[in-house]
């Protein structure tokens, strides 16, 4: 998986970060990823649903509920406790790595 640990790619990280706010459906997850990343991460629809499928298979997200809106099925996903722990660990790892570069020179 590119740009991240072997456990979490950058797009996966943003999916998990988006779901920390509560259950969301695919389009809402996509909008949240774009907002959280400042527009830098914008997975295609197919990529997003592939990520959701892999995260669901790993047990870090789960389907919260399904609804039909205007004749279309809408699946809501939520982060699990394992997923929350994973994204928090990844955030700590990135923070530690960033501190090596961002600390004042000569420190």
| End-to-end CA gap in the chain | 33
* H or E element at residue 92: helix 81-102
State pTM to two decimals: 0.87
The helix or strand, by DSSP H or E, that contains position 13, with its residue range, turns out to be: helix 10-19
Query: How does pLDDT run along the chain (107 residues), one tens digit per residue?
Result: 334 456 799 999 999 999 999 999 999 999 999 999 999 999 999 999 999 999 999 999 999 999 999 999 999 999 999 999 999 999 999 999 999 999 877 65
Domains of the chain: 10-102 (1.10.10.10)
């Amino acid at each position: 998986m590119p740009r991240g640990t072997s456990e979490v790619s950058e797009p996966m990280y943003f999916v998990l970060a988006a779901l920390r706010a509560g259950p969301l459906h695919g389009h809402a997850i996509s909008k949240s990823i774009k907002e959280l990343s400042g527009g830098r991460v914008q997975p295609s629809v197919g990529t997003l649903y592939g990520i959701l499928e892999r995260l669901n298979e790993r047990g870090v997200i789960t389907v919260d509920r399904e609804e039909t809106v205007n004749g279309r099925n809408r699946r809501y996903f939520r982060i699990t406790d394992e997923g929350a722990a994973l994204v928090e660990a990844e955030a700590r790892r990135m923070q530690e790595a960033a501190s090596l570069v961002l600390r004042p020179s000569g420190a």
